[in-house]
Structure 1
Amino acid sequence: MAGQGSGAVPGDGAGPPAPERVLFPPTFSVSEIKNKQRRHFMFLRWKQQQRKEKLALKKKRRKEREALGDKAPPKAVPKTIENQRVYDETTVDPNDEEVAFDEATDEFAPYFNRQTVPKILITTSDRPRGRTVRFCEQLATVIPNSHVYYRRGLALKRIIPQCIARDFTDLIVINEDRKIPNGLVLSHLPDGPTAHFRMSSVRLRKEIKRKGKEPTEHVPEVILNNFTTRLGHSIGRMFAALFPHDPQFIGRQVATFHNQRDYIFFRFHRYIFKSEKKVGIQELGPRFTLKLRSLQKGTFDSKYGEYEWIHKRREMDTSRRRFHL
């Protein structure tokens, strides 16, 4: 029966079989390795090979684009949570006549028409600690024509009539928990609305690296980014109404409210002109992050107030690609 088998028979002089070539990455899962150190070593090797392959593919695509020149296809746009956002029916169109009518008749219209000058009262919760007090003092240097007063046990329902009698246009309340500022209430006077925010990531001026000198008394420029829905449009106008609408550009100061994934990041910068074509920015501080909890009609009333919008986590946070501002 010679010729039926193609394999070599042991002992016929064909020699030992050739060793199998070790493939990497291995055909088995790294998680199956029992030894912890060996498992970690194999994982690092696998990540390193992935980086090499990614870099080689990137170089190959760059050479292809250089060879094609103007005929090269456009670069692919990476997928992010922002550009995959679920469309909101209340997205604002600046050219919409209904939006323009609402802007001309809402509570903030006198400020945008320069008929009213903002006057802000900044106060705190009862018995504020040093960090909250310093934050209020620094916030007063950012917002022009703002004044800091301490609660001294007064309820907000008693403070609001006094603010209206003294021609204050807005009331800002900074709340704290365990000596750390953790909340902000912004109430527009005399008829509202009132917004309640959760505050986090507070950094005072001394805690910011490479900060600039103390801010000057110039009226800063205000930048509002990414407030696209009707709710976000209202919140953006509330922030804009805190500042006079005649910025003094000679001061080179700018206050930015940047909305990203329903988190509002506040930064205060100064422009640094290096040449006619180059410009840099220098952060002055303070900085903080806000998350809207509720928007209430009228002034602050926690018991009988009518709410326009309330953040309900279990109902509203079911999708990572759905945003409300």
Structure 2
Amino acid sequence: MRGNKVPTEEIKRDPAAFADRVTADGRFGRSAEAGRYRLVINRACPWAHRTVIVRRLMGLEGAISLAVTDPRQEIIEGDPHWVFTEETGSPGGLDPVLGIHALREAYLARDPGYDGGVSVPGLVDVTTGHLATNDYDRLCLDLATEWGPLTRKDAPDLYPEALRAEIEEVGAEVYRDLNNGVYRAGFAPDQARYDRAVAGVFARLDDLEARLSTRRYLVGESLTLADIRLFTTLVRFDPVYHGHFKCNIAKLTEYPALWAYARDLFQTPGFGDTTHFDHIRVHYYWVHTAINPTRIVAAGPDPQGWLTPHGREGLGGSPFGKGAAPGPVPADERVPGIS
């Protein structure tokens, strides 16, 4: 996420700087071991949120510990950085497991000469302090398919082999026009590029509205990675993308099928219980000073609507397929709920 720099060109996302894969058999050099890795995230970030949802649905909380950075990034040597603070449960501003203040320290432990950007999520090898990967997409895929016996026995199949081509096809369209499209609109350097980006956002929302009017989930009859990829953008749409990123042609709540679909997911274990609306609003409005120089954090919208009945059960399907819902959220990972 960009911070205090005024955009001069259209936002472009660089490939992940570090993309080690962690698998049950260690065939790429890193093996899945309980307690070896720590997942560093920020609850405001949609890309990090994906990994938290997958980790929870697969029952990997006991195998991979979680570290949460402050939603207000700290400026270090002129750039905004993800840091640990007392406010987010890190005594003395140091992560209690890794012993670092800023995630970039794990990047530099891996490569002392690294001078690129620092992003969440970051999977850090606790044994060395080195960043293993910041490739959120590959990390989600591997958490869903490669952690073998460390996943819970009744975990859902989030990436069924027979549906993978369709999951990736839908995901590519959603990423281009919506996941990344809201950023291209929000950080557009001129009117023409904003107009193109915002038109793409709402064209994709219109297509999704039609698709989800007749089916409960994006691909197949149960949850897949396609739904997780979409949800983390939808849940941020009205709180930050609609106003802060000028994606204000319509609100999510004005799309009957999409709004019901989003509520259905939110009320499913793993989705709403990993969503922290305060962190979302505070991060976007406080950090992006190029488009909100006053750092005034918007008060709304009221999140109560997320708990209203969605009526999607009539479309068939079941969230976890042949699996079952995950258990309760670990006590030290709970986020403020909606009352």
Larger RCO (CA under 8 A, 6+ residues apart): 2
What TM-score results when the alignment is normalised by the length of structure 1? Answer: 0.22
What TM-score results when the alignment is normalised by the length of structure 2? Answer: 0.22
Q: Which has the higher helix share?
A: 2
Mark the structure with the bigger radius of gyration.
Answer: 1
